[in-house]
Amino acid sequence: KEETWEPRSLFVDLDPEPIAVLQKSAPILNPASFICGKKSAGHIYSRGRSESVKKEVLEVALDRIRALVEQCESLQAFIILNSLGGGTGSGFGSLLLESLSKTYRKQKSGFHIFPTCAESSSNFGSSFPECSSSPLEAYNAILHAHTLTDSIDTSLVLGNAAIYDICRSSLGAIRPSYNNLNEIIGQSISTITLGSRFESPLSVDLSGWYTGQIPYPRLNFYLSSYAPVTADVALPREKLNIEIVESVRNIPSRVCELVSDYALYEEPSVLDITTAAFEAGTSLVKCDPKDGSEYYCCKARL
């Protein structure tokens, strides 16, 4: 009999429509992994923390989490993924984090998508999807950030505007899809959690990240970058070599274009990856590290 594996996870949204779409698109997930409310929070932080939400959604979520914890042989940490622009991600997210910090002493690591600030959105215009659709998103993010300083151990900051720019510059997508955005976010999360999922003498689990990188409990925000990010090339390596030889014989002007495509196949060196990781174009959040203080730096490689 083949063994069946399913992720030990829980998806919560006050709006029932996204949960219904996710259930249809991810049949591998257990139906008990989905919890939804009766009505969307409507980008309102306080609505996500209302008394009705506590009774209808929070209690059910904590019961499901308790059941998942009991299935674990050795619970290592909680991983929380949420967007801070909406009412559910910010309001209910802070409510859930506060409850988890009171109930469990295990480490809690978060990956949080921050909305585009007004200064960045003015550069794009309202037609671009990375711009905040509601003026309340900035307030939701600020209110939730206060909870992150007290109720979570490590927090990885992801910015909408930075990820959209990476998709445009590196992937060549003028209007990136959610698949493009999720691929970059998923690769970043996969790299950080790599040591927890595979055994290796050089692996560092989530508790090791916290022990080595957090100098003070309230200084728990990571600035992350991902490099290299390259788009798929249509020509295979063998065909590319043949076309380069034919171009040398026939059309020399074509050589430069093909050599540029051929460079994408070359494996970058450790120095190239490290240099690219510190460039502004590969950062997953739009900010200048020179304006603050850096306490620790770590590079993970797949």
* β-pair partners for 154: 109
Spell out the residues 6+ positions from residue 213 whose beta carbon is closer than 8 angstroms to its own. 154, 222, 295, 296, 298
- The number of helix segments (H) and strand segments (E) in the chain equals 15, 6
Which residue from 162, 23, 138, 25 is spatially nearest to 84, judged by alpha carbons?
138
Is residue 245 scored above 50 in pLDDT? no
**Distance between CA atoms of 96 and 151, rounded to whole angstroms?**
10
Is residue 42 scored above 90 in pLDDT? no
- Mean pLDDT to the nearest integer, 251-260: 40
For 121, the token pair is: 């959105």
Report the range of poorest mean pLDDT among 17-26, 68-77, 194-203, 213-222: 194-203
Q: Could you report the per-residue pLDDT of 118-173, keeping only the tens digit for each?
A: 544 444 444 445 556 678 888 898 899 888 888 888 888 898 888 888 888 887 77
More confident of the two residues 192 and 254? 192
**DSSP letters spanning 228-263:** ---PPPSS-HHHHHHHHHHHHHS-GGGHHHHHHHHH
Q: Residue 203 has what pLDDT?
A: 61
Q: Could you report the per-residue pLDDT of 207-228, keeping only the tens digit for each?
A: 666 666 667 777 778 888 888 8
Q: How many residues does the chain have?
A: 302
**Distance between CA atoms of 97 and 119, rounded to whole angstroms?**
29
Spell out the residues 6+ positions from residue 214 whose beta carbon is closer than 8 angstroms to its own. 153, 154, 220
- Mean pLDDT to the nearest integer, 258-285: 71
Q: Residue 100 has what pLDDT?
A: 92
| Spatial contact of 47 and 111, defined as CB atoms under 8 Å apart | no
Best mean pLDDT range from 32-46, 245-259, 264-278: 32-46
Q: Residue 301 has what pLDDT?
A: 57
What confidence tier does 34 reach under pLDDT thresholds 50, 70, 90?
very high
Q: Mean pLDDT over all residues of the chain?
A: 76
More confident of the two residues 241 and 283? 283
Q: How far apart are the first and last CA of the chain?
A: 33
Neighbours of 89 (CB within 10 A): 27
Q: Residue 151 has what pLDDT?
A: 87
Is residue 70 scored above 50 in pLDDT? yes
CA 35 to chain centre: 21
More confident of the two residues 42 and 34? 34
- Mean pLDDT to the nearest integer, 8-30: 88
Q: Residue 125 has what pLDDT?
A: 41
Alpha helices in the chain (DSSP H): 16-25, 45-48, 51-53, 59-71, 87, 93-103, 118-121, 136-151, 160-170, 178-192, 194-197, 206-213, 237-249, 255-263, 270-277
Indicate the residue type of 83: S
More confident of the two residues 58 and 204? 58
Looking only at Cα atoms, what is the longest distance across the chain? 76
Is residue 277 scored above 70 in pLDDT? yes
- The packing angle between helices 160-170 and 178-192, to 10°, is 110
Q: Residue 274 has what pLDDT?
A: 83
